Structure formats: structure tokens, C-alpha cells
Amino acid sequence: MFHRILAGIAACTLSAAAAAARDYCPDRPGLGTPSCTIDRGHVSIEVGLADWSLDRSTAERDDTLLIGDLIVRYGIADHAELQLGWTGYGREIERDRLTGARSKDSGSGDVMVAVRRNLLHPDGSGFSLALMPFATLPVGREPIGAGDWGAGLRVPLSYEIDDRFSIELVPEGDAAVDADGKGRHLAYGGVAGLETRVGAALTATAEYQFVRDRDPSGHESRQLAGLSLAWQPREDLQFDLGANGGLRHAADVELYVGVSRRF
């Protein structure tokens, strides 16, 4: 009997070790969304420590700072995970470039809930594909909160070319919140990227994003280019930093830094 108990304990230990053997794949950093999912029973906590963006036109300059941009991911199966996201604090400063008038406001963001269901290779190896429906709940306040609920669907795809290079494609369609915070409209687009392994623990990713936003106040198309670095000194820990810039409006800039940890 005793040797059977020991055998059972050993089997459980080996099973847990195997479950934790999957490479860690945080959502951070970058514009895109990975197709991989978190191991069953594990939690990934991913925090944007600081995120500063600048949106400047001929008439106005907007500076936005986000602190504590949080995503919690929990593996509910080998191929599926739940996500909960929230921005703890945000501050926006608006400046009228013609009159010099200045206004400042701050608040917390909305809550995002999502499910990611991987359909092929949940560890992200080879050709990997997933579906990710999500919704945003209007618990925040302006200017960080959108003011109403929204929803959308992402379809992350990735393909490993070899041991160093992989490509990603993330088409997306949203019922995005109107600019006035009341009602929703269609927005769609996608992200394409190339990831390269620079060293044993360092990866770099270059991305392009296109978004078509059909807001009732005015339709617009946005294009962004992004470059990010991710460093994993340990198998369950990652630090990242990155920058995004507008391709049509050179004054649109975003800089960010964050950390992710798997438990």
C-alpha cells in the first residue's frame, strides 16, 4: 500500500511538472495578441508599469499617462484561458495650441473580460490559431473610461518559421464605444508582426497595425508601427519595453514599460 501511495505522489509531481513545462507567453508587449494560452491551473499577472502617449494635431495636444494597466490570465484548460483587465490610474492633459488653454483630468479605466480558446497548438508552436471574444464594462470614469460597454473578437494566428523567427497576424472586429460615450459603432482592422529571438532570453518584435474606425462623429483610418523588446531572465518572469508611432501622423507616439509573472 505504501509503495502505491508513493507512486501516486510521484505521478502527481511529474504531471504538475509537465503542466508547468510550457514556455511562458505573456500578452505583453506589443500591439498584437498571442495565440498561445496559459497552462491549466496557472495564473499570469501582467502589469503596464507606465504607459505614456502623445496625440498632437495642429489645434490640440493630448498627453496621456497610464499606471497599473493590469491583465490577469487564468488557464482553465490546456487550450483555454480567462482574462480580466483593468487600468488602475490614468491622467490626461489637453492643451489648446491656439489659445494656450490647458485642462487636466484623471480616473480609472473600464474592466475588460475575455476568453481565449486555442484551436491549434496552445503553446504557440508551429502554426497556432485561437479565438478571443471580449467585452469592456463601463466601470471607469472619463477620460480613461469609455463611458459605455463595448465588445469585439480577435483571431490571433502565429507561425514559427524556424528557431529564431515567427510571424503573427491578428484580425479584429469591434463594437467600439462612440466618442461621446453613448452607443457603439463598427471598428475593424488587424496587426501583423515579425518576432525574432535576439538571445537565449531576449526577443524583439516589429509590428504594423491598421484600424478603420467608423465613429458617428467622423470616420478615420489609423496606422501604427511598433517595436518592442521582451527579456525573460527566468522561465516565469518577463520584463518588457516598447514604442509605437503613427505612420500618418508623426506626432502620435507611445512609450511603455511593464512586467509579467506566471504563478
Determine, yes or no, domain membership for 9: no
Is 235 inside a domain boundary?
yes
Residue 180 per-residue DSSP state: T
Q: Per residue in 129-161, pLDDT tens? A: 999 999 999 998 888 999 999 999 999 999 999
202-223: pLDDT as tens digits: 999 999 999 999 999 889 899 9
Instruction: Convert the pLDDT of each residue in 78-125 to its tens digit.
Output: 999 999 999 999 999 988 877 878 889 899 999 999 999 999 999 999
* Pairwise CA distance, residues 209 & 76, whole Å: 30
Q: With bands split at pLDDT 50, 70 and 90, how would you rate the model's confidence at 4? A: very low
Whether residue 17 is contained in a domain is answered as no
Residues found in the chain = 263
Number of domains comprising the chain: 1
Amino acid type, 61: R
Task: Flag whether 64 is in a domain.
Answer: yes
Closest CA to 130 of 171, 86, 187, 165: 171
Rounded to 5 degrees, φ, ψ at 13 are -65, -45
Domain holding 150, by residue range, is 24-262
CATH number at residue 109: 2.40.160.40
Overall pTM > 0.95? no
Q: How far apart are CA 73 and CA 48, in angstroms?
A: 14
Kindly state whether residue 12 falls inside one of the protein's structural domains.
no
Q: Kindly give the pairing relationship between strand 202-215 and strand 184-197.
A: antiparallel
| pLDDT at 148 (0 to 100) | 94
Pairing between strand 150-154 and 165-177? antiparallel
